[in-house]
Amino acid sequence: MEWHQTVFTSEGSSHSRFENVPKSDPCAGWDYHDVPANDPPSCRRARQFRQMQRFREVEDQFNMDQITRDAIDHVERCILGVLDCPAYPLIISDSPYMQMKFNTGGETIWLLPIMKAAEELNFRFWTFHGGNHAGLETSWNATRLLNESLHSYWTEGLFAMNCLQSPGCVRPEDVVPASDPKFRHDVSIIPPERLGVLPSWKVFTVNFWGSKNAEYGGPGLNPGAQFGIPHDWSFHPLGKKWQFVPYPYDKHTYLPISIEQRCLRAKYVPFEEKDNSAIFLAKFASYFHEDSNKAMHDKWGDLAAALKAHGPGYDLIAPTQKKDGIGRVMEIPDAFDIRGTMSSVQYSRLLSRQKAIIGIGQPIISPSPYIAMCLGVPAVMPYFTDKGPQPDHHPDAKWGSQYVQHGHVSGFPEPIPAEMTLQGVRAKVREVLLETDWEGEYRAVIAANGGVHPHYPDVQIKACWEPYSVCKGILWQEGWDKPKEEKKD
């Protein structure tokens, strides 16, 4: 499948880094200065260029910033053969975390090196903030206008469910309609210019948590539990393989989180030279008030006092904000040394001087324990249930319990796992974007399902529409284009 293998040369010919050079070039003799009627009919680059010309006529409707304009210009240079690029060099995303260049959250720590590795392979991202339906409509429109150059569309888990049920996002033959008519779109009344053109195999989720089993996950972090599906569910009807995740969760596509640069931002401090303090794995005050650590709610002060009894400098540090990611404002226990928000460099340097990093039950997964271990800081990750640590969703799953102890710690810098280095991440990104035949995988799934596209379970669709309302968006039914009548008292 040439979509993921062909690379252009500056001379305008095409070749593959993984196959023999083709004997003939379907674009041979093509002159993009000529009129479209003279374009070779089988020349993909000609189709891409003519579509780019049409896009240029309407691009101002997107209010693009300079970063986005540079990305589109780069794609155009790929099409013209000025650069050696993948055959389809554009990735469109409306995951909000891919826009947060200066955010210090786990999702951003994961995704920015992934984006950088893809850009080093000459892909370019056009990112939207998909936090509302208007944002989704805009990104879907972009996939329609530049589908000839589009490698893939990356979105959040529930937004992928929205897309894959909507004929305004994916091509009609790949829409997965609900069995309940009230949740179903009427394809016959959608204007042709609003029909989606994306194959479902080009839709991927970027999700820190993946599709977890219902028994695992914190409040609001496990849609599977709310869907009522205990095992083996997915945000994508083609399967979990279409879900990009930062850790090696079962059946998902693993795009590793890279901690190497974070580790290099602070020097290793020998254990005997570290401060007599420990730092909490808790960026929000609400983490100290979760049900998962309920047994500690009235004991945080006692814990801090017991440590302080050893003398000056024996402190528990909380790099914590009072307001959390969903707007809850809570108090931080007075006994802690509160540091508040800091940059990633400041955090790495502070972390390198601690005797330990201590988990408190939330967040369930985080890059911080990995960063701590490469800096020689023991990671103490207690759990407060009789289930033990979560399989595949805990540092134990990668480093082994000899490094992430539950009651016992070591203080030596640990080598970074190979796949979590920058080189390892780049190799994995290359494998996923350039060496995986996603269309072939799609055809295999369809064949195994009796020749029809897999659907979501009814209970999952109902949950996406009602408790979450993510899947509502524009419901293409009779009267969709008519103004709603206001209710009168």
Residue-level pLDDT at 181: 79
The pair phi, psi for residue 288, each rounded to 5°, is: -80, -5
Q: How far apart are CA 246 and CA 400, in angstroms?
A: 17
Domain residue limits, the chain: 88-254, 260-417
Q: Match 């007075």 to its residue by tokens.
A: 334
Using alpha carbons, list the distances in angstroms from residue 479 to 167, 170, 189, 344, 363.
16, 22, 9, 51, 45
**Residue of 167, 114, 44 lying closest to 476 (CA atoms):** 167
Q: How far apart are the first and last CA of the chain?
A: 60
Q: How far apart are CA 20 and CA 210, in angstroms?
A: 37
Domain 260-417 indexed as CATH 3.20.20: no
Q: How far apart are CA 165 and CA 167, in angstroms?
A: 7
In the numeric block, which tokens belong to residue 16?
């593959």
Q: Which residues pair with 91 in a beta bridge?
A: 125, 152
Q: Which helix (H) or strand (E) holds 141?
A: helix 133-145
The per-residue pLDDT string of the chain (489 residues; one tens digit each, 9 = 90 and over) reads: 333 333 333 333 333 333 334 457 899 889 999 999 999 999 999 999 999 999 999 999 898 999 999 999 999 999 999 999 999 999 999 988 887 665 667 788 899 999 999 999 999 999 987 655 556 778 999 999 999 999 999 998 888 988 898 888 999 899 888 888 777 777 777 788 888 999 999 999 998 888 876 665 555 556 777 677 767 789 999 999 999 999 888 899 999 988 888 888 888 899 899 999 998 888 888 888 877 777 777 888 888 888 888 888 888 888 777 777 667 777 777 778 888 778 888 889 999 999 999 888 777 778 888 888 888 898 887 765 555 555 444 444 444 444 444 333 445 566 788 888 999 999 999 999 999 999 999 999 999 999 999 998 888 887 777 655 666 655 555 544 444 444 444
Q: How much is the CA Rg of the chain, to the nearest whole Å?
A: 25
- Name the pTM for this structure: 0.83
Strands (E), 282-421: 315-318, 337-338, 356-359, 379-380, 404-405
Residues 6+ apart with CB under 8 A from 325: 105, 284
Q: How far apart are CA 239 and CA 438, in angstroms?
A: 12
Q: How far apart are CA 341 and CA 30, in angstroms?
A: 55
Residue-level pLDDT at 308: 84
Residue-level pLDDT at 101: 60
In the numeric block, which tokens belong to residue 456?
């979501």
Give the pairing type, strands 253-254 and 243-245.
Answer: parallel
Residue-level pLDDT at 393: 44
Residue-level pLDDT at 216: 58
The pair phi, psi for residue 72, each rounded to 5°, is: -65, -40
Q: Match 């609001």 to its residue by tokens.
A: 220
